[in-house]
């Protein structure tokens, strides 16, 4: 049986993809080279890693309001993550996900998702049901 | 979410597709955060520089701007955060005509929506200061934290699309910092070392922000009402709040004896509603400041660019920069960039401050805030890497754009700009 994690009802469509997990936070403005599709802030734990088409699993959203525009702009160029999973998001990333129609969930019943999900896990995110399924583990 | 009859009509499309998009967006966000309803707002403040918008964002704004006038005009005063470039100074900063062209398209679209192009992140000092209890939809984290904390207004961080949605409907979802339940202090810090200048106030914001580290934490910073120097002034709180919001994603703080919702320490933690809930304070002393600065230290390094921005400078800060650079000359291998709002720039022009800064070799840019202005492209065009600033917010942001930032006092920044190296 795959592992099913319950979370708060989220935003965006149901998606499946591969997890990229870090004990760190997320800001599209501060942390990313959005043209190359990589994390560009040297202090970030995913520095130089590509986020394109990954399901990012991070602690919280940080920094400026620009991310609200940037997620849609990244999606328009095919350079966006497939979904973002947070322990707890801030308002900007939630608004940005709503604007970009990007899948986003947070507030898990079982605790912090960075301790529950591993890099490389295959995930199914169902925001309307508030469910994240780890497909490759039981 | 509960909707009024007017809101139901907007949702049904009776007020046109722009307002229908806006209320749908607000309902999606509101339901994500369990908002029970929408709340009327007094102002909206839109962050929408073209670096963030990109071509797709500008085209989307233009699609709204093409609607009939009665369907596209905002319903409450709606103002803007700094732009992607300043038409008067962009060539000197190595920005391109293509950037100016997309910027002009965005401005034309906003003007068609009835948005006032204030292009400022210090609107709480210069446009229409928020008042206690006023519900707002403010973009720019520094604007939100100042409005909430220093002025007692009520706003969440509203990204550009959400702030524009609020302008179009005159409302925003009632969640987060619109609710009493979220406004009581959650963390306690006691300042043992009085900040000496704006860079120190920003450093304090950075120290508290790193420790708080969540949008949903409300730090209470005590110890600041007992100093003989008196409470911090607006520019000091501006740098403190901007750094706290930047490092910690924090939207509200209390300073007992200073900020309006915290006459006392107990009030800061909810007063009567939550008696006996004042937590043990985390002390912040001079060693914490030393460690914060040490993280960015680069004494002796060549300085490529010295930046005063983030937030834009008040008229008082402009006067201080002019006074420190009078009769001196910025080093040939270093650029000095000063960013302020269009209104302050007009005042600085009129009072001769701009001329004094530019006579020494500085560039005064209006309606921009450096990091929102194609910072990576400016670095590449000008060969900039080492950046010196008195803004803790800027040192936090700008490393992601390929810069090596150092934090120093305004005096040390000017001395370094003249010397061409970090002094």
Structure confidence at residue B348 (pLDDT): 98
pLDDT at B61: 97
Please tell me if residue B216 touches chain A, with a CB cutoff of 8 Å: yes
Asked if residue B224 and residue B168 are part of one domain, the reply reads no
pLDDT at position B272: 64
The answer, yes or no, to whether residue B228 has pLDDT greater than 60, is yes
Q: Residue B275 pLDDT > 90, yes or no?
A: no
Examine the domain organization and report whether B109 and B201 are in the same domain.
no
Question: What is the arithmetic mean of pLDDT over A118-133?
Answer: 98
Residue B155: both structure tokens together:
């706003």
The count of structural domains within chain B is 3
Residue B271 has pLDDT above 80, yes or no: no
B269 and B324 share one domain = no
Q: Does A78 reach chain B within 8 Å, measured CB to CB?
A: no
Look at residues B147, B176, B205 and tell me which one is the last residue of a structural domain. Answer: B176
Burial zone of B147 (CB within 10 Å; 0-12 exposed, 13-18 middle, 19+ buried)? buried
Q: Mean pLDDT lowest for which of A107-111, B228-232, B404-408?
A: B228-232
- pLDDT of B402 reads 87
Domain range spanning residue B302?
Answer: 296-419
HEC string of chain B equals CECCHHHHHHHCCCCCHHHHHHHHHHHHHHHHCCCCEEEECCCEEECCCHHHHHHHHHHHHHHHHCCCHHHHCCCCCEEECCCCCCCCCCHHHCCCHHHHHHHHHHHHHHHHCCCECCCCCCHHHHCCCCCCCCECEECCHHHHHHHHHCCCCECCCCCHHHHHHHHHHCEEECCHHHCHHHCCCCEEEEECCCCCCHHHHHHHHHHHHHHHCCCCCCEEEECCCCCCCCCCCHHHHHHHHHHHHHHHCCCCCECCCCCCCCCCHHHHCCHHHCCCCCCCCEEECHHHHHHHHHCCCCCCCECCEEEEEEEEECHHHHHHHHHHHCCCCCCCCCEEEEEECHHHHHHHHHCCHHHHHHHCCCEEEECCCCCCCCHHHHHHHHCCCEEEECCHHHHHHHHHHCCEEEECCHHHHHHHHHHCECC
Q: Are residues B289 and B301 in the same domain?
A: no
Q: Would an 8 Å CB–CB cutoff place B118 in contact with chain A?
A: no
For residue B414, name the pLDDT band (cuts at 50, 70, 90).
Answer: very high
**pLDDT (average), residues B1-28:** 98
User: Are residues B195 and B104 both part of a single domain?
Assistant: no
pTM: 0.95
Length of chain A, in residues: 138
The answer to whether B162 contacts chain A (CB < 8 Å) is: yes
What was the pLDDT predicted at A128?
97
Residues of A in contact with B162 (CB under 8 A): 68, 91, 95, 99
Domain end residue (candidates: B141, B176, B211): B176
- State residue A62's pLDDT score: 78
Average pLDDT over residues B267-277: 75
Mean pLDDT of chain B: 96
ipTM of the complex: 0.94
Query: Is 70 exceeded by the pLDDT of residue B274?
Result: no
What is the interface size between A and B, counted as CB pairs within 8 Å? 132
Interface test with B, best of A9, A10, A36, A66 (most B CBs within 10 A): A66
For residues B130 and B32, membership in a common domain is answered with yes
What whole-number distance in Å separates Cα of residue B72 and Cα of residue B144? 26
Chain B residues close to A41, C-beta within 8 Å: 399-400
Name which of A69, A91, A94 is nearest B160 (Cβ-Cβ). Answer: A69
Which of B23, B34, B52, B205 to mutate to test binding with chain A, by most A CBs within 10 Å of its CB?
B52
Which carries the bigger pLDDT value, residue B394 or residue A42? B394
For residue B276, pLDDT beyond 80? no
pLDDT at B224: 87
CA B123/CA B143 separation, integer angstroms: 7
pLDDT tens for residues B119-166?
A: 999 999 999 999 999 999 999 999 999 999 999 999 999 999 999 999
Residues B265 and B360 in one domain: no
pLDDT at A63 (0 to 100): 66
Task: Looking at the structure, tell me whether residues B46 and B160 fall in a common domain.
Answer: yes
Q: Are residues B37 and B136 in the same domain?
A: yes
Are residue B146 and residue B208 in the same domain, yes or no?
Answer: no
For residues B257 and B332, membership in a common domain is answered with no
Q: Domain with B164 in it: what CATH number?
A: 3.30.499.10
Q: Which domains does chain A have, with CATH numbers?
A: 3-26+52-134 (3.50.30.10)
């Amino acid at each position: 049986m795959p592992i099913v994690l319950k979370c708060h009802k989220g935003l965006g469509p149901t998606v499946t993809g591969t997890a990229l997990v870090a004990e760190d936070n997320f800001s599209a403005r501060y942390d990313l080279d959005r043209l190359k599709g990589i994390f560009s802030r040297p202090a970030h734990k995913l520095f130089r890693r590509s986020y394109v088409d990954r399901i990012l699993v991070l602690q919280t959203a940080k920094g400026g309001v620009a991310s609200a525009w940037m997620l849609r702009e990244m999606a328009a160029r095919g350079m966006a993550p497939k979904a973002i999973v947070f322990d707890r998001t801030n308002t900007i990333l939630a608004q940005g996900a709503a604007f970009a129609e990007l899948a986003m969930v947070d507030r898990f019943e079982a605790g912090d998702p960075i301790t529950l999900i591993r890099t490389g896990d295959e995930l199914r995110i169902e925001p309307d049901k508030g469910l994240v399924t780890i497909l490759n583990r039981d | 979410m509960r909707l009024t009859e007017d809101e139901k009509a907007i949702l049904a499309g009776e007020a046109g597709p722009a307002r229908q998009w806006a209320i749908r967006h607000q309902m999606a966000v509101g339901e994500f955060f369990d908002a029970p309803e929408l709340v009327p707002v007094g102002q909206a403040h839109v962050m929408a520089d073209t670096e963030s918008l990109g071509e797709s964002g500008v085209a989307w704004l233009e699609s709204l701007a093409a609607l009939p006038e009665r369907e596209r005009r905002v319903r409450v005063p709606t103002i803007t955060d700094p732009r992607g470039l300043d038409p008067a100074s962009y060539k000197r900063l190595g920005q391109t005509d293509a950037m100016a062209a997309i910027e002009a398209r965005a401005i034309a679209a906003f003007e068609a929506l009835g948005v006032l192009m204030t292009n400022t992140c210090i609107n709480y000092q210069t446009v229409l200061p928020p008042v206690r209890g006023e519900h707002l939809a403010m973009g720019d984290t520094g604007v939100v934290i100042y409005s909430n904390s220093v002025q007692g207004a009520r706003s969440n961080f509203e990204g550009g699309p959400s702030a524009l949605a609020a302008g179009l409907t005159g409302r925003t979802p009632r969640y987060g910092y619109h609710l009493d339940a979220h406004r009581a202090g959650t963390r306690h810090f006691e300042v043992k070392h009085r900040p000496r200048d704006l860079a120190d106030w920003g450093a304090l914001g950075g120290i508290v922000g790193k420790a708080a580290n969540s949008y949903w934490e409300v730090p209470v910073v005590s110890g600041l009402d007992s100093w003989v120097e008196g409470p911090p002034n607006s520019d000091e709180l501006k740098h403190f709040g901007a750094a706290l919001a930047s490092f910690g994603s924090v939207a509200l703080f209390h300073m007992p004896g200073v900020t309006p919702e915290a006459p006392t320490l107990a009030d800061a933690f909810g007063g009567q509603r939550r008696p006996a809930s004042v937590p043990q304070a985390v002390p912040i002393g001079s060693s914490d400041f030393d460690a914060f600065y040490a993280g960015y230290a680069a004494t002796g390094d060549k300085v490529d660019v010295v930046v005063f921005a983030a937030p834009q400078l008040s008229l008082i800060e402009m006067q201080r920069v002019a006074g420190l650079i009078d009769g001196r000359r910025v080093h040939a291998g270093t650029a000095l960039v000063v960013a302020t709002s269009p209104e302050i720039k007009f005042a600085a022009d009129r009072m001769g401050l701009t001329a004094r800064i530019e006579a020494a070799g500085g560039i005064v840019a209006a309606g921009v805030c450096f990091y929102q202005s194609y910072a990576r492209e400016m670095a590449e065009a000008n060969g900039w890497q080492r950046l010196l600033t008195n803004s803790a917010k800027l040192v936090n942001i700008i490393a992601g754009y390929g810069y090596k930032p150092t934090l120093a006092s305004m005096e040390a920044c000017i001395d370094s700009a003249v010397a061409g190296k970090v002094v």
